[in-house]
Each structure stands twice: as C-alpha cells, then as structure tokens.
Amino acid sequence: MSKAHFGLVGLGVMGENLVLNAERNGFSSVVYNRTYSKTESFLEGKGFGKKIQGAIDLKEFVSKLERPRRILMMIKAGGATDRVIDQISPYLQEGDLLIDGGNSEFRDTERRVAQLESRQFGYIGMGVSGGAKGALEGPSMMPGGTKASYEAIESLVQKMAAQVEDIPCVTYIGPGGSGHFVKTVHNGIEYGIEQILSESYDLMKRVGNMTGNEIADVFCQWNQTEELSSYLVEITEICLRAKDPEDGKDLVEKIIDKAGQKGTGLWTVVSALELGVSVPTIYASLNARVMSSLKKERVEAEKILSSSSSFKFDIGTIENSMAPIQDAVILSCIASYAQGMELLKAASKEYSYNLDMCSIAQIWKGGCIIRSRLLERIQDAFYVDSQLPNLFIDKWFVEQVNRRLPGLVKVVAGASQAGIPVPCFSSTLDYINSYRTSRLPQNLVQAMRDCFGSHTYQRIDKEGTFHTEWIS
C-alpha cells in the first residue's frame, strides 16, 4: 500500500472530522488513537470507504506516512501532548513535522517548538477554531512556528480551511507559540461575545417579559445587520428556539446557570495583565463565569440581600430591534474585538511575533466561532492603518460609538436600577468612558502614592520627577 500523505493522532470529534476533511481534500491519511478499538470503530464507521488507514501503535503509524511526515495531534492540551511527543519522536526522522491542533498554552508551544526544531523536526502550534462542524467543513486555522515548517503544511491547511471569497481562512501567524497565542485571544473574544449576548437575553426576559421565541426573533433580526451578523448571534437564535422534547418548553430555561471553562479565557486575561493591556469586557465575561459557578451561594444570598428587580426601563421594542439593547450589544462586541486586538498588538511587540492584524481579521472571517461581518470593518481599519492604536478611533467605529453610546448608557443605568447584572455592558461603558477622557483622576492616585511611599510624580506644567513632603 502506498504511503499516506497525512497522519492524525487523537480520534476525538475534532480529530475525526479534521482527518475526514483532509481526506476529502485529496490527502490520504493514517490515524492513530491510544485505544485501538476507537480507531477500528472510526474506520468501520465515518472513515469507511475512504483513503484512511489505521495503525495499532505509533511505530506502525509513522511507518505508514510519506516523508517528510505531516502529523496532526488533536489531543488534550498539557501533559498528554508532551507524552505523545515523547512517544512518537523516537520514530521520526529529520524534517518530519508535528502539528499541535489543540488549545495549548502558548508558552508550552514556545518550549516545544524550540525543543523539536533543535532536533531537526518541524513543530507547528496551530489554533483550530470552528467546533466539530468547522473541523469537517472548513475551520479557521492559526499556525505558528518557523516559516519553513509552515511552508511544509501550507498546501494541506489551505485546502482544509474555510474559504471566504476564495481566500482560505489560514495564514502563517508567526514564530514560536504565536499561533496558539492568537487562538487564545480568539477564545477570549469568544467568551466576551457569549456573555454579551447572554446579558441581552437576560434583559429581554427579565425586563421585557419576552418569551424565548420572541427573543429569538430579535436575534434573527440582529443577524441581518452589518454590525451583528455573526455565527454566535445565529446559534443564539437556534438555542433560544430549541424545546425540551419532554414537555415542549424552552430547553435553555432547563439548563443550570453555571458556565464551564477550559482555560483559554483565563489565559487571555492573565496575558493581558502581564502585558499591561486593558481588556475589561473580556475580563468581565470570565468573571461572570466564575460568579455563575457560585450557584449555591447565590441562591442563599438572593434571600437576604435585597434587590430592586421590579424596576422597569425602556429596552426598546421588537419593532425597533430592542434599540438600546442592540446598541449595548454592538458597542460591547466591538469592545471585545478591540481589546483582543490590543492584546495581540502588545504580544506581537513583546514576543517579536510580527503579527499582521489585517490577516488575522481576514482568517477569522470564516470557519471560526467569532466569525462575523464586523471583522470586515476590523480588517479594513487595520488595512488603512496597520499601527492603529485602538479600533475605537477608526472612523467607522467612532461613528458607531457616537451613535450608540446613549443606548448603552440607558441599558447600564436601567439594569443597575433593576438590580440586574450586566458585567460586559457596564465594563464596556467604563472602558469607552475611560478611553475618551483626557484627564482621569490618576493624578490623585499619584499624589497618594507619593504621600505614603515617596513614589514620586510628574507634573503637567514642568518637566522632571517630583516628590513632596505631604505630611508636615
């Protein structure tokens, strides 16, 4: 039998679908899974009749691949990835290439790229986004590593990726762990948008007393607009319309209000703190998940901490697409992207990733979870100015802020009075208000720091560094 073009380790849902995608695009494949029974059932099921062979162990797996070998690992991030690398590398030869398609921490990828490249193997840390369907039909892919390693997989990933106007949603991201860094930030933005949409649903339900179907109708309207047309808005409508087959009631209302997380949102926020980038909308979405996990405590606290939840305010009507909430959602989604892009720019500088913001916006336009029409505007903004300090000062986005800020203010003020948490909306409002304020009260912070700790300060009217003996 002739040697296969492509190898896959890890037959989870993503792995299965990615290998089917590769095979459909003309890359004969060989698959390996730790438990061979999984390989067998895949080959007898979804992989049946396709140019996909199985391997019982890693030695056989490697021997069935043409050289230089291209091996995609779709396994749990962390120790499992290191173990597979250790187990497979004795069988690899110079020039062979491992691709980690999991959600790995970018520093782990930095280390692995350095280790594997020093042994003359190629190593690519590749963010893959799009969930199971995307993996099968065309995901967005964010590969990082050496340029030479990327070139060895370019023909493969360009065919496998989603295509937007015939442009594949994959590009060389940069060296080291940059691919996984970009995927991490993608997920941070994803956390933000998920929370933003959930806050809008909560207001429509609690303030507007709207049914699931009515709220779904609003999401359907939003999905027709340039500002909000996106995959996450689309699936929100689907989730809200789904019924519990047992009683025909809204399924969403049966789900416990505790959101899980696997780490990428947390890593986004930790990186932002490390790099000194302000990402309050993204942080608020992460914190909202943390708060949601305190279910038992919240149930008890509701009994003793008074709330003013009967307060009603104008959230708009279905006819005007819930205008104030729509404004709040649009500005918060823009903030989520803007903060993510800021973080990418800072990381690019700090880690010498040389990220191309325009290309990143381009490859997020299809296949991935945060795909949206807004990315077209984001791409344009970075095309016009690759060094744009913040998305909010691009002309199109300035107009959005000026038009929609009253709506956001109305929603945050009203929600506060109604006692309804809107962490992403209120963080966004503070972010915009802080960013557009030329004089913040940090002069007083500086005074206090100098007063108790002689930390010194600078003055608006003179050059130099000053200290005052504040307490006589």
Q: Which residues bind ligand 6PG (CB under 6 A)?
A: 103, 129-131, 187, 190, 260-262, 264-265, 368-369
**Torsion of Cα atoms, 325 then 326 then 328 then 332, to 10°:** 140
Report d(CA 180, CA 71) in Å as an integer: 17
C-beta nearest to ligand 6PG: residue: 129
CB of 336 to ligand 6PG, least distance (A): 14
- Helix 264-275, helix 178-206: angle, nearest 10: 110
CB of 13 to ligand 6PG, least distance (A): 11
CA-wise closest residue to 177 among 104, 78, 270, 279: 104
Q: In this complex, which beta carbon is closest to ligand 6PG, that of residue 196 or of residue 368?
A: 368
Establish whether 183 is a catalytic residue. yes
Q: In this complex, which beta carbon is closest to ligand 6PG, that of residue 110 or of residue 190?
A: 190
Q: In this complex, which beta carbon is closest to ligand 6PG, that of residue 43 or of residue 235?
A: 235
CB of 179 to ligand 6PG, least distance (A): 13
CB of 370 to ligand 6PG, least distance (A): 8
Q: In this complex, which beta carbon is closest to ligand 6PG, that of residue 187 or of residue 348?
A: 187
Pair 101, 18: CB distance under 8 Å: yes
CB of 445 to ligand 6PG, least distance (A): 34
Of residues 183, 345, 365, 410, which has the active-site annotation? Answer: 183
Q: In this complex, which beta carbon is closest to ligand 6PG, that of residue 103 or of residue 336?
A: 103
CA distances (Å), 303 to each of 228, 296, 428, in order?
37, 12, 30
Q: In this complex, which beta carbon is closest to ligand 6PG, that of residue 174 or of residue 265?
A: 265
Of residues 190, 199, 227, 342, which has the active-site annotation? Answer: 190
CB of 55 to ligand 6PG, least distance (A): 26
Task: Report the catalytic residues.
Answer: 183, 190
